[in-house]
A and B are shown apart, each in its own frame.
Chain A
Amino acid sequence: MVAVFPCHPQPWDMFMYNSRQALLFVLPALLLYVAFVAVPILQVAAYSLFSWDNGSIKAFSGLGNYQRLTSDGVFWTALGHNAIWAVLTLCFPLMIGLVLASILAERSPRTIRLMSALYFLPRTIPLVVAGIIWGWIYNPIFGLLNYVLDLIGLGSLGGAWLAESGSALLSLNAAGAWTFYGFCVLIYLSAIQSIDPSLYEAASLDGAGWGQRFRFITVPLLKSTTLFLGLYAAIEAMRFFDLVWVTTQGGPGYDTEVLTTHIYKTFFLVGDFGYAAALSVVLLAIVLTIGGLSYRILSQS
């Protein structure tokens, strides 16, 4: 971009308006953002330093709420599940997205449009509804998954997917992937389409097959796109809530508990405002760290 618009000095600078007017442009957004995002974040940080009783502050407790984190097994379990979720997302939807996009890129524009719309369709469905649908697919009595396994003679593999501790998180992740891989296809597609086609032509002339072009052109040139999607997936893995809440609410036991559901339960069901605030601060610290790293890495590449 920089090459196309040599920006310094900008001609627009000569007609600069006084800064008060420019600030007026930012002000409406800033007010809304400060009131409903920035201030609540500061409040949460402050709340975490107190012990609470029935929704009102009881006493200053310093880092007491944070000390509790170390002995809160559910917190560490939940954090582990968030991490597993991130890794699973990197393994499945991202890779599938890359493969599908690079196959699709060589098809006609009509096919590209149709197929990418199909892949993206699940993302337009609210996660609440997605959770309900997948809950049925995994249902041990009438679910489609067990039915299909029965049909192909693998009925012994069937089970109560979301109700067994071994399979609950994995099964849930497959539902999450369902809503995410289409997004990966879209992002990868637009990145592939910006790769110089002559690279592919030259490789083809040299006798490189699809697999080789994929391995030696597509994958290396899309490194920064993969990085973007990976970091995006990591942040989403920390943030997601709806899918778990409508299907398992963190169960069975704590087998699908994640940080957001732990916060929700601590706040609304237990009513422990101080500890819920401390958990929120931890969540914010993690996503802001990943976000900050992303910004650094992506603006370098």
Chain B
Amino acid sequence: MTRTSRVFQHAVLLLFALYALVPVYLVVLASLRSEADLFSGPLTLPWPIDIGNFRRVWFESGFSQFFVNSLMISTGSTLLVMLTAPLAGFAFAKLKFPGKEILFGLFLAGLVVPAPSVIVALYGDLQMLGLLNTRIGVILPQAALLLPFSIFMMRTVMEDVPDDLLEAATIDGATLFETFTKVVVPIVKPGLLSLALIAFLFSWQEYLLPLVVIQDETLKPLTVGAATLQGRYGVDYGGIAAAGIIAFAPIVVLFLVLQRSFVRGLTAGAVK
């Protein structure tokens, strides 16, 4: 390869790294500045670092509670997905039963269903069930909407479990459920971790469902909290920036630490 084309390629790689990073840098910068010099002066980080904005939104604007709510809602949805999708994925990959194709097709169709398209009915249903304005009312539909992707991914993962192992377990007298918990689950652990991460990521980022279901200030997750702060006190840029960082920092850290598992999960199904 010629020198110039190599330099050019490096430039392209770096340019798009900047595209990714500059907005993130901006919000970090805004979160550490006082309101007075927020968007004036040099674009360098202030020193010493002032975490006043974080302290303010965390203690005064309710973000400690929003954080706990996000954690509870995301953990709840992830748990529900983990309790249901691997079992179903295993059945679709390895077992034979009547109606299998139709059932799988039913789940597959759900891959494209957007939350806004069911909200008209879901709202009334949740109201009828007394789940409006509760965290459970977000967790249940959230998990349900995640199921198609999760089952699809789990089926792909379970297909790679060797039949011999299942057979051996059966000969040893294990029930189907024992085979699943003692033989299958240990083998597909990396796949399960990927699924858990992705379910958590998507629930953590969800905005429409909690926006619609929850009115109570003390039950809101971070996404709704940040949008409210932006709408109500649109001028407290430092505070909004700090709120935004509280809303994405945990996921960014999780992603950076467990990048391999994330990538495995995201590319599952896409590349086969």
Binding site for B on A (CB under 8 A): 1, 10-17, 19, 21-23, 25-26, 28-30, 32-33, 35-41, 43-44, 47, 55, 96, 99-100, 103-104, 113, 115-122, 124-130, 132-137, 142, 144, 178, 181-183, 186-187, 190-191, 194, 209-210, 225, 228-229, 232, 235, 238-239, 241-242, 245-246, 259-260, 263-264, 267-268, 273, 276-277, 280-281, 283-284, 287-288, 290-292, 295
Knowing A33-B144, A246-B230, say if A291 contacts B109 (CB, 8 Å): yes
Q: Find the B residue at minimum CB distance from A20.
A: B97
B176 within 8 A of A: yes
Q: Is the CB of B118 within 8 A of A124?
A: no
Let me know if B83 and A12 touch, CB within 8 A: no
Contact digits for B29-41, partner A, Cβ 8 Å, 1 yes 0 no: 0100000001100
Assess whether A44 is in contact with B117, with CB atoms less than 8 Å apart: yes
Q: List 25 A-B contacts (CB under 8 A).
A: A12-B94, A22-B96, A22-B176, A25-B88, A32-B84, A32-B147, A33-B107, A37-B113, A37-B147, A41-B117, A117-B255, A120-B255, A121-B20, A121-B24, A122-B24, A126-B204, A128-B205, A132-B244, A136-B27, A182-B20, A190-B270, A209-B1, A264-B119, A277-B120, A290-B112
Q: How long is the Cα–Cα vector from A47 to B120 in the complex, in angstroms?
A: 9
A residues less than 8 Å from B92 (CB atoms): 26
- CB-nearest residue of chain A to B166: A12
**Interfacial chain A residues near B157, Cβ < 8 Å:** none
Q: What residues on A are CB-neighbors of B110 within 8 Å?
A: 33, 37-38
The answer to whether A129 and B226 touch (CB under 8 A), given A11-B163, A267-B119, is yes
Alpha-carbon separation in the docked complex, A128 to B204 (Å): 11
CB-CB under 8 A from A12, the residues of chain B are 94, 163, 166-167
Judge whether B26 is part of the interface by a CB distance below 8 angstroms: yes
User: Is B227 in contact with A246, judged by CB distance below 8 angstroms?
Assistant: yes
CA distance A225 to B267 in the complex (A): 11
Q: Which residues of B lie under 8 Å from residue A246 when comparing CB positions?
A: 207, 227, 230
Q: Which of B26, B30, B38 has the most CB of A within 10 A?
A: B26
Chain A residues with CB under 8 Å of B16's CB are 96, 100, 119, 181
Contacts of A225 in B (CB 8 A): 270-271
* B126 CB, nearest partner CB in chain A, Å: 9
Q: List the 9 closest A-B pairs by CB distance, nearest first.
A: A36-B144, A43-B121, A142-B39, A239-B114, A19-B97, A291-B112, A25-B91, A22-B97, A40-B121
- Would you call A128 and B117 a contact (CB within 8 A)? no
Task: Flag if A29 contacts B85 (CB, 8 Å).
Answer: yes
Give the Cβ gap from B80 to chain A, nearest Cβ, in Å: 7
**Interface of A (DSSP majority class):** helix
Q: Once the chains bind, are A127 and B120 in contact (CB under 8 Å)?
A: no
Q: Mark B253-269, 1 if CB is under 8 A from A, else 0.
A: 00110010001001100
Q: Of the listed stretches B5-13, B52-60, B61-69, B188-196, name the one at the interface; the rest are far from the partner chain.
A: B5-13
Complex interface: chain A residues within 8 A of B88 (CB): 25-26, 28-30
State the CA gap A211–B251 with chains docked (Å): 37
Number of B residues contacting the other chain (C-beta, 8 Å)? Answer: 100
Query: B151 to A29, Cβ gap below 8 A?
Result: yes
Q: Which residue of B lies closest to A134 (CB)?
A: B23
B247 adjacent to A19 (CB under 8 Å): no
Q: Mark B residues whose CB is within 8 Å of A.
A: 1-2, 5, 9, 12-13, 16-17, 19-24, 26-27, 30, 38-39, 80, 83-85, 87-88, 90-92, 94-98, 100, 103, 106-125, 140-141, 143-145, 147-148, 151, 159, 163-164, 166-167, 170-171, 176, 180, 201, 204-205, 207-208, 212, 222-224, 226-227, 230, 237, 240, 244, 247-248, 251-252, 255-256, 259, 263, 266-267, 270-272
Q: Which of B19, B84, B114, B125 has the most CB of A within 10 A?
A: B114
> A133 near B271 (CB under 8 angstroms)?
no
Which of B83, B119, B271 touches A187 (beta carbons < 8 Å)? B271
- Tell whether, in the assembled complex, residue B109 and residue A186 are in contact, meaning their CB atoms are under 8 Å apart: no
Q: Is the CB of B247 within 8 A of A129?
A: yes
With beta carbons under 8 angstroms apart, the residue of B123, B124, B222, B252 that contacts A124 is: B252
Apart from A55-B124, A113-B259, list 4 A-B contacts with CB within 8 A. A23-B97, A29-B151, A241-B116, A283-B116
Q: Is the CB of B248 within 8 A of A124?
A: yes
**Which residues of A are found within 8 Å of B159, using beta-carbon distances?**
1
B165 CB → nearest A CB, Å: 10
A127 and B84 contacting across the interface, CB-CB below 8 Å: no
Given A17-B95, A280-B117, A287-B113, also A210-B140 (CB < 8 A): no
Question: Which B residues are CB-close (under 8 A) to A190?
Answer: 263, 267, 270-271
CB distance from A90 to the nearest CB of B (A): 16
Contacts of B87 in A (CB 8 A): 25-26, 28-29
Complex contact B12–A100 (CB within 8 A): yes
Instruction: Name the residue of chain B whose CB is nearest to the CB of A182.
Output: B20
A133 to B123, CA, bound (A): 30
User: Is B119 within 8 A of A263, CB to CB?
Assistant: yes
A103 to B270: give the CA distance in the assembly, Å.
Answer: 21
CA distance A32 to B113 in the complex (A): 15
Which A residues are in CB contact (< 8 Å) with B112? 235, 239, 287-288, 290-291
- Identify the closest chain B residue to A234 (Cβ): B112
> Closest residue of chain B to A31, judged by CB?
B84
Contact check: which of A15, A117, A129, A235 meets B170 at CB < 8 Å? A15
